[in-house]
Structure 1
Amino acid sequence: MNIGIFTDCYYPQINGVVTSVMMLQEELEKRGHNVTIITVKVPHHIEEQENVIRIKSIPIIRMNEFRLGIPFNVPLIKMIKSLKLDLVHTHTEFSVGLLGKYMARVLGIPLVHTYHTMYEDYTHYIYNLKYGQRVVKKMVAKGSKIYTKKYSCIIAPTDKTLVSLRRYGIKNDIHILPTGIDIDKFAKLEADNSAIAALRKSHSIEESDFVLLSLGRISKEKNLEFLLEQLPELIKVHKHLKLVIVGDGPYLNQLLKKCDELSLHKHVIFVGRVPYEEIGQYYKMADIFVSASYTETQGLTIIEAMASNLGVVVYDDTNVQGIVMEGESGRLFTTQAELKHQISDAINHPSKTKAMRKRGLEIVQSLSKESYAENAEKIYNLLVEKHM
C-alpha cells in the first residue's frame, strides 16, 4: 500500500506527535508498505531520509518551535499525485493537514486522521485572558467538529480523547489506537552502563542522590511549576533529592525564575533538548519519573519510563487508566499533599517501588510499536476495501 502521512511535526522536532509518526512510519515500512512523509521545512535541517517531502514553512507566533506549512503550489501537488497514494493519514489540524484533506479528495482515496492534541487545554496560547476562555474552548470544539467532518475515520490514542471528541459532537467512526513505543530500546539498556554513570557525573549527580526525572516539552500546561513548588518541603526531609528536567519550550524562563525564587538551583538541573536516540539514558539514570501534566492525550513519556523499568509518579487522569494503577504499577496524585506523599513513599520504600516497576513493565508490553502498526494496518485495509 502507498501511504501518505501528512504532519506539521516531524524530526528534528522532539515531541509525542513526532514519536508517534516516526514509529508508525518505521513499522509500516517493515510490513512492506511505501510510506511518504509530507511535512514542513525546518531551518538549518538537512534532510537525510528518503521518502520525506518538505514544504516551505513559517514559525507560529508565540510558539516558534512549531512551524506552519505553506503547502498549496502546483509542483508540490504534482509531486504528491506521482506517489499514487492509496490512503492519506493526517496527524495535524493545520496547513499540512488541510493539504492532506485536499489530496485525498482530489485522488478519491480514504482519509484517516489521528487526533493527538486536546486543544481546549491549550487555548491560553490563543487568548491569554481569564475571561472568555469558555467561549474560546467552545470555538475549539466546533472547529474540531468542522475539520474532521469529511474524514473516513478518526484515530484516538485513548478513551479520554474519544470521550472528548464525542462531546464535541463528532460523529465519525472513531478507533482507539494507542501510539506504540520501541519497547526493546528502553528495556534493554542497562542501568549500570558506563555511559549512564558518565551522564550522572556530567550533571554533578552523586551516587547518593535520589533523582526525579521530568522529560518533555516545557510549557505551561505541563504543570512543572506545580512540581517545583513541592520541592522545598521535600528537600527538608530528603536532602539528596534532585530533579532533572529534560526538554525545552516556551515556559523555560518562568521555571528558571521560579527556581531562583525557591532557591532550588542546587537541586534542579535543566538539561535542555536531547536527541531522541539519547533519552533512554536519562530514564535509566533516574530513580523516579514524575509527570504533573493534566493535558496529555496518552502520555508517551510515561509509557517510555515504564518500559525503562522506572517507577512513575503521575497526575491521576483518564489517559493513564489501565496503565498506571495506584500501588500496582505506579503512584498517582492530584493534590500537592498527594504528590509530596507519593515522592516520599517512593524514596522510603524501594522494595514497593521495585514491585510496581515490574508490573509496569509487564503492562506496557502491549503498547509496542509493532502492535501499533499492525492495528493501524487493519484500519487502513478496512477503509481501502470499503472504498473499492
Structure 2
Amino acid sequence: MRIFIATDAWKPQVNGVVRTYENLKRELEAAGHMVTILSPLDFATLPCPGYREIRLALARRSQVAALLKEGNYDHVHIATEGPIGLATRGVCLRKGIRFTTSFHTRFPEYIEAYTGLPAWISYAFQRWFHRPGIGMFVATRSLKTELSGRGFRRLMLWSRGVDTAQFKPRAKMGDAEDAAAKAGPTFLYVGRVSREKNVEAFLNLDLPGRKVVVGDGPILGLLRSRYPDVVFKGAKTGEDLAQEYSNADVFVFPSRTDTFGLVLLEAMASGLGVAAYPVTGPIDVVTPGVTGCLDEDLRAAALAALKLDRDQVRVQAMRHDWSRVANLFLANIYQARRAAGLGKRLVKAHAAKHLHIKPRATARPIS
C-alpha cells in the first residue's frame, strides 16, 4: 500500500507520538509498504507560544493537495489536530478523499491548564475535527470508553509497542554523579518536563534514595532551581536512555492525562516496575502486582514497586511488539475502508500478503 500520514509531531521533537510513527513507518516499509510522512519539516514553522520546543507549521493546502495528487496514495491517515492535520483534512474533504484519524493527546485538558479555556470547548473542536473520518484510532480501551461518552464515533483500538532489543535489563552503569549519589534506591521519571505531566507530584514524594528526571521541557529550569536534591539529566535517546532505565529501581509515572504512555512500556521492557495513578494509560498497560503498582497514594505505589520481580516485569512487556502495532494499524485501515465501502479487495490483499493479517482478525465491528 501507498500510505500518506500527516502529523504535526515529528523530529526533532521527542515524545510518544513521534516515536509511534517512526516505528510504524519502519515496520510498514520493512513489510513492503510505501509510507510518506507529512510533517513540520515540509513547511516554514513558528515556535508554539509557551512551548518553544514545538514548531507549528505554516501548512498550505495547495502544497498538501499537490503531494496527495502526485503520490496517488491508497490511504490517508491524519495523526494530529494541528495545522498540518487541519490542512490535510480540508484537502481530503474538498477532494472527496476518505481518511482515518488518531487521538493521541488530551489537548483540551492541557489548553485548560495553560489558558483557562474550558475543556468542553476544545472537545467540541476535536469532535468536529474527527467526525468526517471513517475511523478514529485510540490507544486503550479506557480511553475508547471515555471518548465514546464524549460523543466521538467510529472508535478503533490501536495499541503501542516497544523495542525490546533496545530496552532490556542491563548492568547498572553511570557517571561519577551516579556513583556518588547511589545510596538507596533510584526512582526515575522519563518524559516531558512540563506542567501537564504533573512532574512535581513525583518530586514532592518523601522517598528513600534519590530521584532522577530524564527529559526536557518548558519548566525544566524552574524545577531544577526548586528541587536541588533531584538529579535532572536532560533529554536522552537511544542507548543512553535505555541505560537510564536500567540504572533505576522504580519508574514513577505521575501523569494523569496521558492517553497511553510509551515510557511505561520502555520501563517495563527494561525490567523496571512502574508506580502510577490508576488512570487511563497505566490502568491499560500495567498489571497491578506484576509489572507495577497503581495507587492514588503515589508514594505507597513507588515503595510497593520496589518489591516486584524484574524478570516478570520484562516478560509482560515482551507482548508489546511494534510489528503487531503495524499489523493492527493496517487491519484498522482495512476495517474502516470496508465499513465505508471503499477498496476492500486492495487493502485486504496487501494486508494479508505483507503482514499476514488473517481476515477473521479484521472482522471486529467498529463501535
- Give the TM-score taking structure 2 as reference length: 0.86
Could you tell me how far 1:104 is from its partner in structure 2?
A: 2.9
Q: Does 2:323 match 1:370?
A: yes
1:184 to 128, 151, 165: 165
Q: Does 2:119 match 1:140?
A: no
Residue in 1 that maps onto 2:18:
18
Residue in 1 that maps onto 2:187:
212
Residue in 1 that maps onto 2:145:
163
Give percent identity, aligned residues only.
28
1:67 aligned counterpart, secondary structure: strand
1:278 to 237, 240, 245: 240
Letter in 1 for 2:76: V
Is contact 1:89–1:112 with CA below 8 Å preserved after alignment?
yes
Could you tell me how far 1:247 is from its partner in structure 2?
A: 0.5
RMSD (Å), alpha carbons: 2.1
Distance between the aligned counterparts of 1:277 and 1:14, measured in 2?
Answer: 15
Letter in 2 for 1:374: N
Residue in 2 that maps onto 1:243:
211
1:82 aligned counterpart, secondary structure: helix
Distance between the aligned counterparts of 1:277 and 1:88, measured in 2?
Answer: 33
Residue in 2 that maps onto 1:312:
274
Distance between the aligned counterparts of 1:120 and 1:73, measured in 2?
Answer: 25
Letter in 2 for 1:2: R
Could you tell me how far 1:284 is from its partner in structure 2?
A: 1.1
Distance between the aligned counterparts of 1:245 and 1:126, measured in 2?
Answer: 22
The structure-2 alpha-carbon separation of the partners of 1:205 and 1:177, relative to structure 1 and needing over 3 Å to count, comes to farther
Matches within 5 A, 1:97-116: 97-106=85-94, 108-116=96-104
Unpaired runs of 5+ residues, structure 2, are 344-367
The structure-2 alpha-carbon separation of the partners of 1:157 and 1:253, relative to structure 1 and needing over 3 Å to count, comes to same
Could you tell me how far 1:200 is from its partner in structure 2?
A: 4.0
2:133 to 151, 154, 161: 151
1:243 aligned counterpart, secondary structure: strand
Letter in 2 for 1:35: V
1:361 to 314, 321, 324: 314
Residue in 2 that maps onto 1:227:
202
Is contact 2:274–2:302 with CA below 8 Å preserved after alignment?
no
Is contact 1:62–1:125 with CA below 8 Å preserved after alignment?
no
Give the count of matched residue pairs. 341
Could you tell me how far 1:59 is from its partner in structure 2?
A: 1.1
Residue in 1 that maps onto 2:265:
303
Residue in 2 that maps onto 1:387:
342
Unpaired runs of 5+ residues, structure 1, are 42-53, 260-264
Could you tell me how far 1:150 is from its partner in structure 2?
A: 0.6
Distance between the aligned counterparts of 2:332 and 2:28, measured in 1?
Answer: 13
The structure-2 alpha-carbon separation of the partners of 1:346 and 1:34, relative to structure 1 and needing over 3 Å to count, comes to closer
Distance between the aligned counterparts of 2:237 and 2:300, measured in 1?
Answer: 33
Distance between the aligned counterparts of 1:200 and 1:209, measured in 2?
Answer: 17
